[in-house]
């Protein structure tokens, strides 16, 4: 019924907007015409970040767990320069977070990857450091 009130373009956009990884079709959000991120561009960005960086941390700038994970690397692996993507500071941050959940089953940040392996959030990263697994991964 709702869709019948919309123009065909709006109806299609409304339906695509509900898709998990929308394709590049314009849709209205809060009266602003915006473009949905393509699944492949977000997927490529995340996969490239993981593949091209020894340490990749998907983070949010205000997140205390992220701060602890970033501090662990700064203090214990000062020679490394992790790639840190602050999802709250990016237009595509929500789409990246959705893709990470799809990929790893983890919906929270931080989401830490070392040498292409997902370590997990802060708790798992701290535990991996204590066990020696994190150091092993960093020095692969
Ligand atoms: N036990 C998790 C806690 C992570 C967590 O709760 N992160 C919050 C931000 S501080 C989160 O991702 N909330 C959902 C969101 O921001 O979308 C860990 O150690 O990483």
Domain total in the chain: 1
* 119 belongs to a structural domain: yes
Residue 64 token pair:
């205390």
* 20 belongs to a structural domain: no
* Rounded distance from Cα 105 to ligand 1 centre (Å): 13
* 77 belongs to a structural domain: yes
Binding site membership of 121 for ligand 1 (Cβ less than 6 Å): yes
pLDDT confidence bin for 53, thresholds 50/70/90: very high
* Rounded distance from Cα 108 to ligand 1 centre (Å): 4
pTM: 0.78
* Rounded distance from Cα 49 to ligand 1 centre (Å): 20
Contact 113, 119 (CB under 8 A): yes
Q: Where are the alpha helices (DSSP H) in the chain?
A: 8-17, 39-52, 64-76, 93-104, 122-131, 133-138
Binding site membership of 120 for ligand 1 (Cβ less than 6 Å): no
pLDDT (average), residues 34-59: 88
Nearest CA to ligand 1 atom 2: 121
CATH number at residue 113: 3.40.30.10
**Is the pLDDT confidence value at 14 over 90?**
no
* 32 belongs to a structural domain: yes
Angle value at C-alpha 15, between 10 and 18, nearest 5 degrees: 125
Strand partners, 112: 57, 120
Contact 28, 13 (CB under 8 A): yes
Contact 64, 117 (CB under 8 A): no
* Rounded distance from Cα 85 to ligand 1 centre (Å): 15
Q: How high is the mean pLDDT of the chain?
A: 83
**Is the pLDDT confidence value at 27 over 50?**
no
* 12 belongs to a structural domain: no
Residue-range definition of the domain harbouring residue 113: 28-138
Q: Quote the pLDDT of residue 37.
A: 63
Q: Quote the pLDDT of residue 4.
A: 45
Tens of pLDDT along 101-122? 999 999 999 999 999 999 999 9
């Amino acid at each position: 019924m709702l869709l019948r009130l919309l123009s065909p373009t709006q109806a299609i956009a409304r339906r695509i907007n509900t898709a998990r990884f929308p394709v590049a079709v314009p849709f209205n959000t809060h009266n602003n015409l915006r473009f949905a991120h393509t699944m492949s561009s977000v997927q490529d960005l995340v996969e490239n970040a993981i593949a091209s960086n020894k340490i990749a941390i998907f983070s949010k700038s205000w997140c205390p767990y992220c701060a602890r994970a970033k501090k662990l690397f700064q203090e214990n692996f000062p020679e490394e320069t992790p790639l840190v993507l602050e999802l709250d500071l990016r237009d595509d941050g929500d789409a990246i977070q959705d893709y990470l959940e799809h990929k790893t089953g983890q919906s929270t940040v931080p989401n830490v990857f070392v040498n292409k392996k997902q370590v997990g959030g802060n708790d798992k990263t701290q535990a991996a450091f204590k066990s020696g697994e994190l150091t092993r991964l960093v020095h692969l």
